[in-house]
Chains A and B, each alone.
Chain A
Amino acid sequence: DTGVSQDPRHKITKRGQNVTFRCDPISEHNRLYWYRQTLGQGPEFLTYFQNEAQLEKSRLLSDRFSAERPKGSFSTLEIQRTEQGDSAMYLCASSPRTDRNEKLFFGSGTQLSVL
């Protein structure tokens, strides 16, 4: 169990640029989640996958955001035409089963700064 890995740890970009983040969940974890956290706030749900299927997307996830999980392993989160309001910590989490009481294992996050 090597934990949930996220890359990069930090990303600085200019407004209008596209960025892509990667998440590698714990091996054999079926569920994968993306959250966004801004300073002084708790994580806000963005989307989640059951294997390769994207089952739910938050209204926070505008058309500029897209997430994929090909082959049900790693996942990518892309933000197109970044805006300053996109600056946040993007967290990935995974869980081994479909039980809603199952704990989530979080990565350390990708800190995005949009200048």
Chain B
Amino acid sequence: GNSVTQMEGPVTLSEEAFLTINCTYTATGYPSLFWYVQYPGEGLQLLLKATKADDKGSNKGFEATYRKETTSFHLEKGSVQVSDSAVYFCALSGRNDYKLSFGAGTTVTVRA
């Protein structure tokens, strides 16, 4: 079945540091890949997505590239802010699937 493995946290960074959260997946065919974010006290919301190999999703300074050869979708941001403190979830939907399979989440804390 489909599954997602993401880097364990928690991750603590200083403001303006570089952030990487690793995500790898197992799926048959060509899944769509997503990063969702949950800010403190709020519901999950889509951060970015990529629907085919070599696509790059980007939003709010975050980027992730769909790498089929390494089955990965790592999330990166060049300069984090305190407001980026949140839990980040990698997720996928299978080719003939309408539900999301999520990773365990990575808690990121950015200190001023």
Contacts and interface: CB of A to CB of B under 8 A. Distances in A.
B102 interface: yes
A108 B100 contact: no
A4 interface: yes
B79 to A, nearest CB: 25
Interface residues of B, number: 25
Interface stretch (A41-49, A61-69, A71-79): A41-49
A94 to B, nearest CB: 11
B contact patch SS: loop
B43 A42 contact: no
Interface of B: 4, 32, 34, 42-46, 49, 51, 89, 91, 93-105
Interface residues on A, range: 20 to 34
Interface string A1-23: 00110000000000000000000
Contact of A45 (B4, B42, B49, B100): B100
B102 A42 contact: yes
Contacts of B93: 100-101
